[in-house]
Chains A and B, each alone.
Chain A
Amino acid sequence: MERRANQFNFASYHTLEEIYDWMDTLVADHPNLVSKIQIGESYEKRPLYVLKFSTGGSNRPAVWLDTGIHSREWVTQATGVWTANKLAEDYGHDPTVTSLLDTVDIFFEIVTNPDGYAFTHSSNRLWRKTRSINAGSSCIGVDPNRNWDAGFGDAGSSSNPCSETYHGPYAHSESEVKSIVDFIKSHGNVKALISIHSYSQMLMFPYGYKRTPAPDHEELNELAKKAVSDLAAVYGTKYTYGSIADTIYLAAGTTVDWAYENGVKYSYTFELRDTGRYGFLLPSSQIIPTATETWPALLDILVHVQQHPY
């Protein structure tokens, strides 16, 4: 049966297969804007798909977006689906999105940890990590947000494979992480990276592994301030913002620190909402409100990137 991307139920949670099927539908509906590329395979050999939003050009400045690196944070994958659809639907209709995509490419990995996500649907809804086997331990998986080569193994990550913040045997040991590293390095023109988590209502930027302010701290902070203000204007959801180390605690080996240290100036990580009653079990009725309020904040960052080339 032929389906269209906008007939998908964005207000429900979906399995990995449903999300991967939907990606194909989105590509089919917007063939001149969206394509699907595979950047690698997960530990359990699932494809790692990225949606590429591009209106042409050659190796344009690009933005990397990812959701769902922690698999149990279901509202992030759901927000990823909604946001990707929004980008596609608004192109050619909304002047801001149109102008953005006329100059900037967006790469969007919606299910960054597919093994973990599939596992949350089949066996353990509260699984956070990858599903790789750890030599010498009966505990499975590595925290992919402690596995990056930026202060790898330092404070805020664990050397215990049974811990939820286990950093893994070495930096980029997880194919889910290595595939992104290889992709961003080989692209060479990624100007922003936004990694989306839940559920602490925060917008953060480097550094996480050290307390030293990033060289671009002031600009990143001002942009974060504007973004959370615009987010709050939608439903009044209050976010805190700042460097990871100042806002939560020292956390080594994170995505955004690696990106920043590898030349991606605009590196941010969102912690999307919860009202404090459900945590990772946020009811599906809150997917669209969450995605809707996140959109203006995301757009603030994207537009800033477009207007501040470097």
Chain B
Amino acid sequence: EQLFVGDQVLRVVASSEEQIALLRALGEQVELQVDFWRDPTKPGRPADLRVPFSRLQAVKIFLESHGISYSIMIEDVQQLLDEEKRTMMLSRR
């Protein structure tokens, strides 16, 4: 079972087409293992990306160095997954 402990989902808002292109390039970097939940589309529209815990620092530095604003949408993905499992178990009982 794949665990997502410490993985975060970042909500990123690109302010220009240039920043959108940078985000797409970020997604192409296989070693960063970024998983776009909501793709970058247009300036001003949010994009959401899940970032593994081990790559968080690198991705945040990338965003900050290019002046791309972001917030943390999900602090710890695994916590939400655990909660979802609990809810399903309760429902089944």
Where the two chains meet, the residues of A that have a C-beta atom closer than 8 Å to any C-beta of B are 9, 11-14, 122-126, 160, 162, 164, 199-200, 247-249, 276-281, 283-284
Q: Is B35 an interface residue (CB 8 A)?
A: yes
Check B37–A276 contact: CB distance below 8 A.
no
Check A276–B11 contact: CB distance below 8 A.
yes
Check B88–A199 contact: CB distance below 8 A.
no
The size class of the interface chain B forms with chain A is 20 to 34
Q: Which chain A residues lie closer than 8 Å to B35 at the CB level? A: 126, 164
Closest A residue to B81 by beta carbon equals A125
Closest A residue to B30 by beta carbon equals A162
Q: Is B51 an interface residue (CB 8 A)?
A: no
Check B1–A122 contact: CB distance below 8 A.
yes
Closest A residue to B87 by beta carbon equals A284
A123 to B1, CA, bound (A): 4
Main DSSP-derived SS at the B contact region: mixed
Given contacts A126-B4, A281-B84, A283-B84, 8 further A-B contacts (CB under 8 A): A12-B91, A124-B1, A160-B30, A162-B30, A249-B39, A276-B46, A279-B48, A284-B88
Check B9–A124 contact: CB distance below 8 A.
no
Rank and list the top 8 A-B pairs by shortest CB-CB distance, nearest first: A12-B91, A124-B2, A281-B80, A279-B37, A248-B41, A284-B87, A125-B81, A9-B91
Q: Which chain B residues lie closer than 8 Å to A162 at the CB level? A: 30
Q: Which chain B residues lie closer than 8 Å to A277 at the CB level? A: 73-74
Check B73–A279 contact: CB distance below 8 A.
yes
Where the two chains meet, the residues of B that have a C-beta atom closer than 8 Å to any C-beta of A are 1-2, 4, 9, 11, 30, 35-39, 41, 46, 48, 50, 73-74, 77, 80-81, 83-84, 87-88, 91-92
Q: Which chain B residues lie closer than 8 Å to A248 at the CB level? A: 39, 41
- Our pick among B36, B38, B77, B80 for the contact of A199 (Cβ within 8 Å) is B38
Shortest distance in angstroms between B46's beta carbon and chain A's nearest beta carbon?
7
Shortest distance in angstroms between B57's beta carbon and chain A's nearest beta carbon?
21
A11 to B90, CA, bound (A): 12
- Our pick among A12, A247, A276, A284 for the contact of B73 (Cβ within 8 Å) is A276
